[in-house]
Structure 1
């Protein structure tokens, strides 16, 4: 995923965190904020040390989430910024389960449509 699709600055994180609404499932929390006129969606990822002490495990979760979002890119509307915060149980997920959980939390937040 290109860097232009990421939220990196602290003040941008705070705007989405405090200005948006949130939904959650067992493994991830999603904060979202509408941004009309934006070219494409942007996402911020957070995996704290409480989730996994070792950096390689935290980075693996972030890779899985980024790949899941890359695969779902066509379904995500352009005019939204969102944060995905990993919870402790997400450390045990494989790639398939991570994508399934990301889809679920995006559907809860009404970012992507229900299929089937």
Structure 2
């Protein structure tokens, strides 16, 4: 996924977080905010140190999330900013399970 698809600045994270539109499943939490006039959606991914203790684990979870979103990209509306925050069970998932859980989460949030 290209860097233009990512939310990196803390102020942008906080803006989406403060919009207070969220849904969650057992593995992930989704905060979303519509943003008019964008060419494509943007996503911020957060995996805390309490969730995965090593950087290797945190980066693997983030790679799985990014790859899953890349595969779901044609179905995601372009005028949307959202944050995905991992919960503890995310450390035990493989790629297929991560994609399945993200698909479920995006359905709950009415993004898909």
How much has 1:20 moved relative to structure 2? Answer: 3.9
Aligned residues: 112
- How many Å apart are 1:57 and its aligned residue? 0.4
SS in structure 2 at match of 1:100: helix
CA distance in 1, matches of 2:11, 2:39: 20
- Displaced runs of 4+ in structure 1, greater than 3 A? none
Q: State the Cα distance separating 1:19 from its structure 2 match.
A: 1.2
Q: 5+ unaligned residues in a row in structure 1: which ranges? A: none
Q: Which residue of 2 aligns with 1:35?
A: 35
Normalising by structure 2, we get a TM-score of 0.99
The equivalences for 1:56-67 within 5 A come to 56-67=56-67
In the alignment, what sits opposite 1:81? 81
Distance in 1 between the 2:92 and 2:60 partners?
11
Q: Report 1:87-98 matches (<5 A).
A: 87-98=87-98
What is the distance in 1 between the residues matched to 2:55 and 2:96? 21
- Structure 2: runs of 5+ lacking an equivalent: none
The whole-number CA distance in structure 2 between the counterparts of 1:100 and 1:18 is: 27
Q: How far apart in 2 are the matches of 1:7 and 1:64? A: 17
| TM-score, normalization by structure 1 | 0.95
CA displacement 1:39-95 (0-9 Å, x = unmatched): 100000000001011110000000000000000000000000000000001000000
Classify the secondary structure of the residue corresponding to 1:72.
Answer: helix
Say whether 1:104 aligns with 2:104: yes
Name the Cα RMSD after superposition: 0.5
